[in-house]
Amino acid sequence: MRLDRTTSLLLIVDLQTGLLPAIDGGEQAVTEAAWLAGLSRMLNVPVWLTVQYPAGLGTVDPRLAAAAPAARRWEKVHFDAHQEPPFAKALGDLGRKQVIICGSEAHVCVLQTALGLLAADYRVYWLAEACASRRHDEARLARERVVAAGGIVVSADMVAYEWLERCDNEAFKAAHRDFLKPRATRPLRF
Amino acid sequence: MRLDRTTSLLLIVDLQTGLLPAIDGGEQAVTEAAWLAGLSRMLNVPVWLTVQYPAGLGTVDPRLAAAAPAARRWEKVHFDAHQEPPFAKALGDLGRKQVIICGSEAHVCVLQTALGLLAADYRVYWLAEACASRRHDEARLARERVVAAGGIVVSADMVAYEWLERCDNEAFKAAHRDFLKPRATRPLRF
Amino acid sequence: MRLDRTTSLLLIVDLQTGLLPAIDGGEQAVTEAAWLAGLSRMLNVPVWLTVQYPAGLGTVDPRLAAAAPAARRWEKVHFDAHQEPPFAKALGDLGRKQVIICGSEAHVCVLQTALGLLAADYRVYWLAEACASRRHDEARLARERVVAAGGIVVSADMVAYEWLERCDNEAFKAAHRDFLKPRATRPLRF
Amino acid sequence: MRLDRTTSLLLIVDLQTGLLPAIDGGEQAVTEAAWLAGLSRMLNVPVWLTVQYPAGLGTVDPRLAAAAPAARRWEKVHFDAHQEPPFAKALGDLGRKQVIICGSEAHVCVLQTALGLLAADYRVYWLAEACASRRHDEARLARERVVAAGGIVVSADMVAYEWLERCDNEAFKAAHRDFLKPRATRPLRF
């Protein structure tokens, strides 16, 4: 039930320029998703990004694009990304069963994708500080529903320390210097 | 575990004119139940309404009657609607297993009906913003009890987007224009 | 999972004169436990009362004694009443499997008795407004632990309406007049 | 599911002098862990202490060392103590299956150790008032995750009264005088 970096994937859902200004906690969601995307890059954990209806909702926030330049990108029409056959096929082929999910709106596309993944037997980890909706309380409701369906709520710090496992190697030292230490005193709403 | 409009029913319990003035959150319950009843109508999801002791508690709120003119109506003497044999029979005959429930009082008739439906193997979805009691905290207690019994807490937005599934068709465009967009900025207490 | 008055027992734990002044919410616990004890009497539901170390902690609060004059009383040395063999024997003989529990301290004797009853296959209903501790948050912790162990949190209103089941008989009319209506507007902390 | 002093172990994780000043609730964690360590000593419950990277994070807080002078100490490099083979071996040899866990950071080393113990079939009891992180809300998130994984949240008072079981012997009288009574009025955040 702990996260393992060799079986993890970070999935960032619909953090798009046209949607974010309306989202309560949207700035924090982008900052923390980008932070974890940066650490993912250092630790060779794949990052995937989705967008919904980009003509109306805009492109991926540029801070995420910068933090995860090699991220695979998916455009979707279903709110649940896993209902898009190429996405489901590629995810199955990748063979990573622990999906850390975040994005907006928490109670629409993030929730539906999380439920789709759980139904397809993935382990879903809900990144609390980076799942956001127009109404904060509706994001909380989504989080409670995911937990009731078998998902696990995590913070980015939890993910990082589980991926790192121990403190006596170079990977930890680099991650601590570049990621953990700068984040340690940042105030966050979970 | 996601909602499917072809297997859903919206059940609105006892939102009656004589009871509502005493209910904390009664106005919101009526507004949001009517909103979802309107969307149900557009998407061909049946809506059922119950009343308890209309001689003393009054008739269904007229805004609900207007939003769901074709709704089937039930008068009941048991607090649990499912203990009324004609109701249970008709619900079984309808063959829809996902029941979105809301109304008042959350901790009496809504709760008892939810527990009755769960015991009869229906999937129960508790519409958070439209379940209300005299005491708000007692409605919360009802919600927690339904979750512990296997019910699922949803918001009307969750229901709508799950019923709609995707954004690239006419059903979504119409629902977005008439329902989703006007509701997007409305403040709500869940 | 609903309460049935023919299989219910109300168990009031250690609401004693020498302990109550130190309890946050002790007054409410007594008032609401006495209210439900009165209704129990009307509906022929047995009420049991326990006391711990009466030499130091005093006798049962007189309002409870008045509300439940025929209540069976137990003096115990174990914090868990069910560890007292005569209590466990009498409870088994009574054959009622739904135990509504309340009293003080919520996180000591009420909790331990609840866990003992759950381990002995009773269904335990935690009466939220009448379980209290010195520290309110410690009573909340006890409640969460009981839920995690399989207990069900209820309010006295929930219990009453489940015992009554329907609104079209004399039992309901009497209970409504004497109990439900006078309580309807009382503010409560759950 | 109640605690039994003959099968319990108190495990205090990384309450170190160099880390504590940054921890929200660190003072309370030390005070309450030391309190329970003192009672453990009186009741012959073993206490174990861990430290992580003492060169950087300092030694065990001296109040804990004083309260548990005979405590077994472990230095670890994995965040999950149970991933250290000598620790896992010694714990298995001890044969005590109920582990009361506390310390800092709640969402890193305490959480990972708790999850490791649960995976190894120990019963884990999360001592609410003595599990702390830099961000209080992140400690809450850790607690919720442990509960979802099968852990049980307790207060030190709960532990004490479960270990003591009854009020009519010398062990209770001594524990009440030296531990329970002095703590009764202490304000605590859980």
- ipTM of the complex in this document: 0.97
pLDDT (average), residues B90-116? 98
Instruction: Give the mean pLDDT of chain A.
Output: 97
**D152 contacts on C by Cβ (under 8 Å):** 145, 148-149
Percentages helix, strand, coil for chain D (3-state, rounded to 5) are 50, 25, 30
Q: Do A77 and B167 touch (CB under 8 A)?
A: yes
> Among all residues of chain A, which has the CA nearest to that of B153?
A145
> Among all residues of chain B, which has the CA nearest to that of A24?
B185
Give the three-state DSSP class for C47.
Answer: strand
Nearest CB among C83, C107, C149 relative to D158 is that of C107
Q: Do C190 and B141 touch (CB under 8 A)?
A: yes
Report which DSSP code applies to C37.
Answer: H
- The torsion of the CA quartet D95, D99, D102, D106, rounded to 10 degrees, works out to 110
Residue type, D165: E
pLDDT (average), residues C81-85? 98
Q: Do A167 and D77 touch (CB under 8 A)?
A: yes
**D138 contacts on A by Cβ (under 8 Å):** 155, 157, 188, 190
Rounded distance between C-alpha atoms, residue B141 and residue B107, angstroms:
7
Strand spans (E) along chain B: 8-13, 47-52, 72-76, 98-104, 123-132, 152-154
| Band of residue A177 on the pLDDT scale cut at 50, 70, 90 | very high
Give the three-state DSSP class for C41.
Answer: helix
Kindly give the residue spans of alpha helices, DSSP state H, lying in B44-133. 54-57, 62-67, 85-94, 111-119
**Does the pLDDT of residue B1 top 90, yes or no?**
no
Q: Is B167 on the interface with A (CB under 8 A)?
A: yes
C135-180 pLDDT, tens digit each: 999 999 999 999 999 999 999 999 999 999 999 999 999 999 999 9
Nearest CB among C1, C157, C189 relative to B107 is that of C157
pLDDT (average), residues B108-121? 98
Angle at C164 between CA C175 and CA B110, to 5 degrees: 115
**C165 contacts on B by Cβ (under 8 Å):** 78-80, 83
D136-160 pLDDT, tens digit each: 999 999 999 999 999 999 999 999 9
Q: Is D167 on the interface with A (CB under 8 A)?
A: no
Q: How far is A61 from chain B (nearest CA, A)?
A: 21
Strand spans (E) along D53-122: 72-76, 98-104
Rounded distance between C-alpha atoms, residue C130 and residue C139, angstroms:
10
Rounded distance between C-alpha atoms, residue A74 and residue A76, angstroms:
6
Angle at D172 between CA D170 and CA D178, to 5 degrees: 100
**Does the pLDDT of residue B147 top 90, yes or no?**
yes
CATH architecture of the region A8-178: 3-Layer(aba) Sandwich (3.40)
Nearest in space to C102 (alpha carbons), one of C165, C189, C26: C26
Q: What are the backbone dihedrals phi and psi of residue C153, each rounded to the nearest 5 degrees, phi first?
A: -90, 130
A46-96 pLDDT, tens digit each: 999 999 999 999 999 999 999 999 999 999 999 999 999 999 999 999 999
| Band of residue A1 on the pLDDT scale cut at 50, 70, 90 | confident
